[in-house]
């Protein structure tokens, strides 16, 4: 029995990423401090905030670790700073969570309990509710899709009536809160920094599955998320840019050649024509431009940085 398995409570590092988070990050930290799990250390990674987030956190919570990047490194690179710190500090599990969340007091214990059932479980998440509608799901997992690999959120918009109470394996899962086994980081590393924003967690899930780990939903672990997300949210132009750029990068890296061709022909171009025309019709030219530039950036990556770097494809179960 190794040292980790011999301990009663594996060491968890809870990592959140702050960027001008203000009261949201404070509420997230307070929910972590209220957790019943006895072996959790809190790490806040700051991505170059210009508000008083950092000074406020240090003053209110001198016992937590605050890592200052000095600039906005994006979601993937920002969290990687926290993951590297947690790994070097000897963490057994790393809990990724958005800073605009409030965690149930039993959530960490429930995540660890499920993770400890099988050493092949690499990722564990649970029920994500909307903060403003506390019995309504944002997500409990992700469906698979034959064209885009990752599909819609499971449970999105549904009232919790006990319909998702089984521990379940998924091909993909969201990272609003995500428990990561140390061995996952040792085997494949953290987020790919190619993904500044969007698709960083889906790419990570694909690599985790290729490495032979399981991705599991734990129904007793709960969190409430304030942020806007989902299929019907009106995104900013910059977010449209990264969404479409990174979708192309993700598909090229993780789909088979046949799947990627079908994605281009039956999804990307058809969707782009409809959406760009809709934006132009409504005089939302910044959105239309960002959409087109995002696709162009993705194709540029495909022709240059992506050339010769295609990953092994994954199957959709």
Average pLDDT, the chain: 91
CATH number for position 218: 3.90.550.60
Is residue 33 domain-shared with residue 148, that is, in the same domain? Answer: yes
- Looking at 170, 199, 225, the residue that finishes a domain is 225
Scanning 211-236, the segments in alpha helix (DSSP H) are none
- Looking at 195, 225, 255, the residue that finishes a domain is 225
CA dihedral 246, 251, 253, 256 (to 10 degrees): -170
pLDDT reading at 114 higher than 80: yes
Q: Is residue 313 part of a domain?
A: no
Helix, strand or coil for residue 309?
coil
Is residue 187 domain-shared with residue 298, that is, in the same domain? Answer: no
Q: Quote the domain boundaries for residue 17.
A: 3-225
Cα distance between residue 290 and residue 310, in whole Å:
26
Rounded mean pLDDT of 97-116?
98
Rounded mean pLDDT of 75-88?
97
Cα distance between residue 140 and residue 160, in whole Å:
11
Whole-angstrom CA distances from 85 to 35, 39, 45, 49, 260 are 21, 16, 10, 20, 36
In the prediction, which pLDDT does 234 show? Answer: 59
At 13, list the tokens.
């590092």
222-275: per-residue pLDDT in tens?
999 997 644 445 578 888 899 999 999 999 999 999 999 999 999 999 999 998
Cα distance between residue 268 and residue 261, in whole Å:
10
pTM of the model: 0.90
Is residue 122 domain-shared with residue 262, that is, in the same domain? Answer: no
């Amino acid at each position: 029995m190794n040292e980790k398995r011999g301990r009663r409570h594996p060491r968890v590092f809870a990592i959140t990423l702050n960027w001008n988070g203000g009261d949201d990050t404070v509420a997230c930290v307070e929910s972590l401090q209220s957790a019943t799990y006895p072996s959790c250390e809190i790490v806040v990674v700051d991505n170059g905030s210009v508000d008083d987030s950092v000074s406020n956190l240090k003053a209110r919570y001198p016992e937590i670790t605050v890592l200052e990047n000095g600039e906005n490194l994006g979601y993937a690179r920002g969290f990687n700073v926290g993951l590297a710190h947690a790994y070097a500090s000897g963490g057994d599990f790393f809990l990724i969570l958005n800073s605009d969340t409030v965690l149930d007091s039993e959530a960490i214990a429930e995540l660890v309990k499920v993770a400890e059932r099988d050493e092949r479980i690499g990722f564990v998440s649970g029920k994500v509710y909307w903060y403003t509608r506390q019995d309504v799901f944002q997500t409990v997992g992700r469906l698979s899709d034959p064209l885009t690999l990752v599909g819609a959120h499971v449970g999105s918009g549904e009232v919790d009536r006990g319909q998702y109470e089984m521990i379940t394996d998924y091909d993909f899962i969201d990272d609003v809160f995500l428990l990561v086994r140390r061995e996952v980081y040792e085997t494949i590393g953290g987020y790919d920094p190619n993904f500044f924003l969007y698709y960083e967690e889906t790419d990570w899930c694909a690599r985790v599955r290729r490495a032979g780990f399981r991705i599991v939903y734990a129904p007793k672990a709960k969190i409430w998320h304030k942020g806007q997300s989902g299929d019907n949210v009106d995104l900013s132009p910059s977010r449209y840019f990264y969404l479409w750029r990174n979708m192309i990068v993700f598909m090229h890296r993780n789909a088979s050649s046949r799947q990627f061709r079908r994605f281009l022909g039956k999804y990307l171009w058809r969707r782009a024509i409809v959406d760009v025309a809709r934006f132009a019709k409504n005089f939302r030219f910044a959105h239309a431009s960002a959409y087109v530039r995002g696709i162009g950036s993705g194709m540029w990556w495909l022709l240059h940085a992506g050339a010769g770097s295609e990953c092994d494809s994954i199957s959709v179960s």
